[in-house]
Amino acid sequence: MQSFRTELENPIVEKDIIDLEKKIREFREGKIHDEKFRSLRLARGVYGQRQPGVQMVRIKLPFGKVTFKQLLRIADVSDEYGSGNLHLTTRQDIQIHYVSLDRTPQLWQELERDDVTIREACGNTVRNVTSSPDAGINPNELFDVSPYAHAFFTYFLRNPICQEMGRKIKFSFSSDERDTAYSYIHDLGFIPKINEKGERGFKVMLGGGLGAQPFLASLVHDFLPEDQIIPYAESVLRVFDRYGERTNRNKARLKYLVQKLGLDEVLRLVDEERTANKSKTFVIDRDAVPQPQLPAELDYPVLDVNDTLAYKHWRATNVLEQKQKGFYGVYIKVPVGDIKTDKARKLVAAIQLYAADEIRITQNQGLLLKFVREGALPALYAGLKDLGFATPGFDSVGDVTTCPGTDTCNLGISNSMSLSVALEDVIYEEFPELIYDKEIKIKISGCMNSCGQHGLAHIGFHGSSVKANGKVVPAVQVMLGGGTVGNGEGRVAERVIKAPSKRATEVLRYILNDFAAYAEKAESFHQYYDRRTKDYFYQLLKPLADLTNLKDEEYVDWGHEETFATAIGVGECAGVVIDLVATLLLEAFEKLDWARASYEAEAWSDAIYHTYAVFVSSAKALLLDKGVNSSTQIGVIREFDTHYVETGEILLSSSFHELVLQINKNEPTKEFATAYLGAVEAFINQIKAIREEKF
């Protein structure tokens, strides 16, 4: 690789990109361990694909907002560095696939020219902050949550407290009590409220998550004032960083910490941590996300579409009236979330005269256009129809959410994207009336990890396999009864039965036909499911699980021609911790440099947290030298007292526990930063002496 120089105005971003290029070069030269490098690149949005030698790059778009210029830039980058495709995700990101690792710094540089980042889009960090896509135009909202989501994005990006956590953290902001950003399955979910004094605040849900074992979040605040939501989140992250699991990644989410310690204890620790917060109060800039400039009013062409049935279906299912009088939001259904770059450019050309310069990516992998005048709707429809983007039924039964599955993901077991197309075909061809039903959601994941959010679906499927006649058969685990209730309440879908993948379409027919025949008047799907019971659906679908009558084509997965075989790689949903003594000590010295740099910049809170990280990393290194491995930072601190301080090998004026945990007993002042940094430098000097004597 050749070193390169960036041409960006932001020195922080420039340093990030140069550092990534340097680390890639050192990795190629064998100077950085593979697992350590994986953690580093993941935190910069670079994720290994199922296909060897290429990467997926995830672009972090806070609350799914993207301008026309940014979308065109992303399309250009995908053509130059990837496969010419844009994949919309359930977390309102865009992913580019088939990227060479060595070209990722240049790719990042090109994106940053239009203020688009990949920083912390993957890895053990705060992931993309999501919100209801209709925030800002929703007639039912108390206020626009977009500035709050934006504040979370800017506050926690590159924040020392969340750079090397045990696992990822996810935040969401719903625009109203319908909870369309799914607060109940997030680490922290926020729903806007206004109290009796007319003050803004949020209902706060904590400790939710999907994955292979879903947990519903717990209510922790009925009303948290708006200036307290960032300090509260900061305290939560500090607790998770210190007490969260780091060895067993399957138990390393916040939901498991709540399960392990209990909600009351976690909340006590959160409250204890507030003393050390960088911010005791944080005033949100409500103008940080201004509404886009309105499109000019034109002499719109007179088109013969208004009286067509197709236009009426589209208008009824894909168009919403905004709270801004005279304007409409227009949803675009994007099959499997994929947009080819040539079509992305044509899309911008088709909509830029009729919609405001702000697109929102939706959680079901579609798009929302804003501020379309009523007179522009027919012309906009005609332009979208020419591109195949005017399919009615957005967010209906016929709008199936799916992850990429075995197309590109290491963890994929089955081809979820082709199955999604097959299920949608069933809806549109056999149940066309259901394009008006926006209650029932169908979601698919290629494995049990729920990237397609099958765990919160009314009808969900995840990839699996079964054995029959000495062969492996692609299968789906059928999940029923999940979904949003509202105002922070939700339901986790139940596992009902497993059936061959090629029978998933029949599974769908059985369920929808039964619902049509036996649901009582005005009965919701949840009420119908509860009344019929899980066992009823098991018996209903049991014939489809019979493996004694398999056909040859059922040994082949959707979208494939070859016989099915499971081939699961190593997942990269978060970085892997490296338990190598030398590597950890090098990290500790690097963090000491960061602490000193932050101190020189008078960023006292950052200097203190970097200092804390030096204590933990260096202590863990010495413990590993004795074969002692602790799975949490608090465990490292306790074990170090036992194996080094109490034995006299390390001399301290107090216990290591008391020394290190001064971090949450003191305000982040210059005085404390000075003392704490001085203490860690003395500590590091002892460690250097021990290492020099030993080697």
Per-residue pLDDT reduced to its tens digit, 250-267: 899 999 999 999 999 999
Q: How many domains does the chain have?
A: 5
Secondary structure tally for the chain: helices H, strands E: 20, 22
277 with 668: CB under 8 angstroms?
yes
Asked if 130 and 29 touch (Cβ cutoff 8 Å), the reply is no
68-81 vs 104-112: helix crossing angle, rounded to 10: 160
Residue 550 and residue 425 share a domain: yes
Asked, for residue 657, whether it belongs to a domain, the answer is: yes
Show Cβ contacts of residue 688 under 8 Å, excluding neighbours closer than 6 positions. Answer: none
Could you tell me the CATH number of the domain that includes residue 687?
Answer: 1.20.120.330
Residue 320 forms beta bridges with which residues? 329
Report, as an integer, the average pLDDT of 555-560.
Answer: 87
Q: What is the pLDDT of residues 526-552, one digit of tens each?
A: 999 999 999 999 999 999 999 999 999
Long-range contacts of 344-347 (CB under 8 A, 24+ apart): 344/71, 344/72, 344/74, 344/75, 344/86, 345/72, 345/75, 346/387, 347/71, 347/384, 347/387, 347/389
Cβ 236 vs Cβ 217: under 8 Å: no
Domain membership of residue 183 (yes or no) is: yes
In a domain, 420, yes or no: yes
Q: For residue 59, what is the domain's CATH number?
A: 3.90.480.20
CATH of the domain at 162: 3.30.413.10
User: Is 173 a residue whose pLDDT tops 50?
Assistant: yes
| CA dist 116 → 23, 183, 566 (Å) | 21, 26, 36
Could you tell me if 609 and 495 lie in one domain? no
Q: How far is CA 481 from the centre of its chain?
A: 23
pLDDT for 645 beyond 70 = yes
Its domain, for residue 70, covers: 11-112
Shared domain for 608 and 671, answered yes or no, is yes
Q: Can you tell me the distance from the alpha carbon of 222 to that of 205, in angstroms, rounded to the nearest whole number? A: 9
The model's pLDDT over 469-513, given as tens digits with 9 standing for 90+, comes to 999 999 999 999 999 999 999 999 999 999 999 999 999 999 999
Co-location of 649 and 544 in the same domain: no
Q: Is there a domain that residue 2 lies in? A: no
Residue 117 within a domain:
no
Examine the domain organization and report whether 144 and 197 are in the same domain. yes
Domain shared by 139 and 257, yes or no: yes
50 or 333: whose pLDDT is higher? 333
For residues 547 and 646, state if they share a domain: no
Residue of higher predicted confidence among 441 and 409 = 441
Same domain, 448 and 380: no
C-alpha–C-alpha distance, residues 187 and 105, integer Å? 31
Same domain, yes or no, for 315 and 346? yes
Domain boundary among 276, 299, 319: 276
Asked whether residue 286 is domain-assigned, the answer is no
pLDDT digits (tens, 9 = 90+) for 274-324: 999 999 999 999 999 999 999 999 999 888 888 899 999 999 999 999 999
Alpha helices in 285-340 (DSSP H): 309-318
Residue 393 in any domain: the answer is: no
Decide if 613 is inside a domain. yes
Residues 643 and 610 in one domain: yes
The domain boundary residue, chosen from 386, 418, 436 = 386
Residues 325 and 428 in one domain: no
Q: Please check whether residues 63 and 91 belong to one and the same domain.
A: yes
Residue 362 to residue 133: CA distance in whole angstroms = 6
* Cα first-last separation, the chain: 34
* Domain end among 276, 300, 322: 276
Assign 3-class secondary structure to 553-596: HHHCCCCCCCCCCCCCCCCCCCCCCCCCHHHHHHHHHHHHHHHH
459 forms bridges with which residues in the sheet? 442, 480
